[in-house]
Amino acid sequence: MVVPGSCSPSVAAGMAALQVFYNLSTGLWNTTGWWNSANALETTIDYAAITQTIPYRGNLFNTFEKNKHTHFLNPWFYDDQGWWALTWIKAYDLTGEDRYLAMAKTIFEDMTQGWDATCGGGVWWHKRRQYKNAITNELFLSIAAKLHLRSSNKAEAINYLNWAQREWEWFKNTGMINADNLINDGLDNTCRNNGKTIWTYNQGVILGGLVDLYQITKDPTLLAQAEAIADAAIQKLAPKGILQEACEENRDCGADGPQFKGIFMRHLSDLYQTLPKPQYKAFILQNAASVWSRRDRNDRLGLSWASELDQADAARQSSAMDVLNAAILLGTTGTYQAENAKLYGLKTEAIASGFHGTGYIKSSVQNDSVTFKVNISCSGKYNLKFRYAAIEENAFRYIYVNGKKEVDNQIFPQSQNWSDVTISNVWLNAGENTVSIIFNAVKGSKSSLTLDEMRVEPRPLMGNSKRS
Ligand SMILES: [Ca+2]
């Protein structure tokens, strides 16, 4: 399978085609609606974060400056403004600038005005108190959980968590999640599932909210619910493995529908970071390859990801770029087992409990070494996280990256149990790299080291780093 999971030129070309629609004077994307522009900006931020590139970061600043006087509030619809809250949270994660987080909080505060006791709770879709639907409440859940994770003020953090839990308690009891574990559009006048269209984005946004709430509470039922929804969507909404919107059959999804599939994929990608099922990875890669193979000569991508381009606009383009972003992200993280690495002077073992993969290695003699081969889609700075034990005392080893010394005698603090040591900000090239851990006793390496695996992760985003 040809996967467009490299930073350049393929995915970069798709991003460039998205920015062709960007209007500098409005800060929005031409050819699409207001809420779609929030998603196009989120796509742009994801791309900047995943590839660690700066070309479109100016759009972030510009969109904020041109529109901040509106506070990104919509006169009619709570869901439309919710997208902007998610986008500004991502902008905060990318830049660490508090004003973006503050804007997300302002938007959320306004959304709380839409909550009332009709149907036992939930936020209205329309500000004239019409229709309690899935998307508005999924957004509300996700924003609340994300704001909780980013609030340093304790009272504020508790408030956001209370909203998230209140929303989920209500949502799961409404019946909007049907017997197939798929989410219908909303509630009817008797507060029951109205049986209306199962849009892909309604199977997506919920995943992000549940994953975040799971990170906060560690309640396994939340992750199980997310898994059930994701599995059902992949099984039921993707003929021949390619995600399809219900409206595609008539080849008319209006202005909104073309955005939805990307939103699902973005959140499936979030779920995969917490629940790395091989099936999710395969699904992302298969869809990315399919849509990319259908691009036109200007790298434009259409409504259907399984057939030729119908028309080009910013909604279609950003939606498709979401799955391409997800595919790149898969190529920037990976876990490598020590027992499968290239070993010199070492043997593998599988006696101690709790190892990952099929075993681990024990390093204790002069000049022994472990060399990992690491394939990365995008060049940039990464964190290398080693899972190890050092039973007797602190162990020290040389770390080499691509044949060059990265760390003199990295310390692996004494630990009877499996622990992690992270080496931050290591430059890796697109393509193949080598990472070696070398016992150089002459230069001060010492003590035995048990090594289980190495995990390669993109350097954390700035705002995100406050979370740990
Ligand atoms: Ca292992």
Which of these, 321, 313, 212, 193, lies nearest to 266 by C-alpha position?
Answer: 321
What average pLDDT does range 444-457 have in this prediction?
A: 95
C-alpha of residue 340 to centroid of ligand 1, in Å:
8
- My answer on whether 49 and 191 are in the same domain is yes
What average pLDDT does range 365-385 have in this prediction?
A: 90
For ligand 1, a single-atom ion, the residues with CB < 5 A are 337, 355-357, 360, 452-453
* Domains held by the chain: number: 2
DSSP state of 464: G
Q: Indicate whether 167 belongs to any domain.
A: yes
Reported pTM: 0.85
Per-residue pLDDT tens digits for 396-424: 999 999 999 999 999 999 999 999 999 99
- My answer on whether 287 and 363 are in the same domain is no
Among the candidates 311, 330, 349, a domain finishes at 330
- My answer on whether 137 and 185 are in the same domain is yes
- My answer on whether 316 and 253 are in the same domain is yes
d(CA 270, CA 203): 13
- My answer on whether 355 and 309 are in the same domain is no
Residue ranges making up the domain that contains 386: 334-467
C-alpha of residue 363 to centroid of ligand 1, in Å:
14
CA angle 257, 261, 267 (to 5 degrees): 130
- My answer on whether 102 and 148 are in the same domain is yes
Q: Indicate whether 225 belongs to any domain.
A: yes
CATH number of the domain that 157 lies in? 1.50.10.20
Question: What is the overall mean pLDDT for the chain?
Answer: 93
C-alpha of residue 387 to centroid of ligand 1, in Å:
9
Among the candidates 284, 306, 330, a domain finishes at 330
| DSSP string covering 265-281 | HHHHHHHHHHS--HHHH
Strand, helix or coil for residue 396: strand
Q: Indicate whether 242 belongs to any domain.
A: yes
CATH number of the domain that 423 lies in? 2.60.120.260
Least confident of 58-72, 228-242, 452-466: 452-466
C-alpha of residue 359 to centroid of ligand 1, in Å:
5
- My answer on whether 118 and 184 are in the same domain is yes
